[in-house]
Amino acid sequence: MVHAAGAGHPGGSLSAIDLLHSVMVGWGRFQMEASTRDWLVLAKGHATPALYTTLAELGYIAEDELLTYRQFGSRLQGHPDRKRLPAVQVTTGHLGHGLSIASGIALGEKMARSEVNIYAILGDGDLHEGQTWEAVMSSSHYDLDNLVALLDLNQLTQHGPVEKVMSVDPLKDKWQAFGWATREINGHDYEEILTGLRWTSSQDRPCALLCHTVKGKGVSFMEGDPLWHSTHLSEETLNQALQELGES
């Protein structure tokens, strides 16, 4: 997709793909036939390649359409847009907004006494935005035990390592101090992710899964390189990446 588009965010998409897949395919109620659906809020909206491929796997989008990503006239906008693509439940884009929106949905679902869960996937950049911490505060104030934040901690923002750009540690202590239940997991290990999600359903507070991930996961030349935050894939790098991912 990123190759066809000539641009995009491959690194952050590969760090989030296992989380998205686990939540939407392996755990939550996101199937087309589901009578009640959970909510997925992709706070790190630039990881659309990961979202769109997951939606394709669930049958909401044809695989051919994935190649229209970021193209003029496409439903697959650079950031998730529910008006263009109804399969996108929540329009997101700017870092920092997502958890507030997820918190509002969770508050509404709780007021309606539904049993729907809300999953928000945040990136390191979301944690730099003050609004995210406002949402962390209000979510525990309103006891939103139907809300799960999955923190995709690939430790790299666009300019470099998070600890150099703007340190966010100690993250676990911060979320706990705000009243959230926390658990650390490997964000690329399906069993650990599913165990973590199972654990969230037994908590009486909003939950944060601190998911340790690798930017560009699965592609040797992308892993750990912030330049792959938003870089075009040439024909040569595309073929090498697909070979490493076993998709040739």
Partner 1 sequence: MSELHAPREILGETLAQAAEKDPKLVVLDADLGRSTRLTPFEERYPERYLQMGVAEQNAVGVASGLIYAGFHPVFVTFTMFAIGLPWTQLRQTAYASLPIKIIATHPGFDIGPDGGTHQMLADLALSRVIPGLVVLSPCDTPETVAAISAALESERTTYVRVGRQPVPDLHDQVEVFPIGEAEVLHDGGEEVDVLLVADGSMAWTALQSALRLEKAGIGATVVNVRTIKPLDKKTLVELSGKAEVTVTIENHSILGGMGGAVAEVLGEQGGAVIRLGAPDVFGETGTTDELRALYHLDVEGVLQSIKDAL
- Footprint of partner 1 (CB under 8 A): 39, 81-83, 89-91, 93-94, 96-97, 99-109, 111-112, 130-131, 134-135, 137-138, 141
Q: How far is the CB of 184 from partner 1 (least distance, A)?
A: 26
Closer of 94 and 164 to partner 1 (Cβ): 94
CA distances from 106 to 67, 82, 170 (A): 33, 18, 26
Nearer to partner 1, 100 or 213 (CB): 100
Report the 10 Å Cβ neighbour count for 75.
17
Q: Which of 80, 101, 97 minimizes the C-alpha distance to 144? A: 101
What is d(CA 212, CA 100) in angstroms, rounded to the nearest whole number?
A: 23
Pick the closer one to partner 1 by CB: 10 or 98: 98
CB 114, min distance to partner 1, A:
8
CB 19, CB 121: distance < 8 Å: yes
Q: What are phi and psi of 225, to 5 degrees?
A: -110, 110
Instruction: Name the minimum Å distance from CB 121 to partner 1.
Output: 15
CA-CA-CA-CA dihedral for 43, 73, 69, 103, to nearest 10:
10
Cβ neighbours of residue 198 closer than 8 Å, sequence gap 6 or more: none
Crossing angle of helices 48-57 and 10-21, in 10° steps, is 40
Please state the closest distance from residue 135 (CB atom) to partner 1, in A: 5
Q: Which is nearer to partner 1, 137 or 245 (CB)?
A: 137
Instruction: In angstroms, give the least distance from the CB of 131 to partner 1.
Output: 4
Torsion-angle region of 129 (φ positive above 0: left; ψ -120 to 50: alpha; else: beta): beta
Instruction: Quote the least distance from Cβ 48 to partner 1, whole Å.
Output: 15
* Residue number with CB closer to partner 1 (105 or 181): 105
Nearer to partner 1 among residue 141 and residue 198 (C-beta):
141
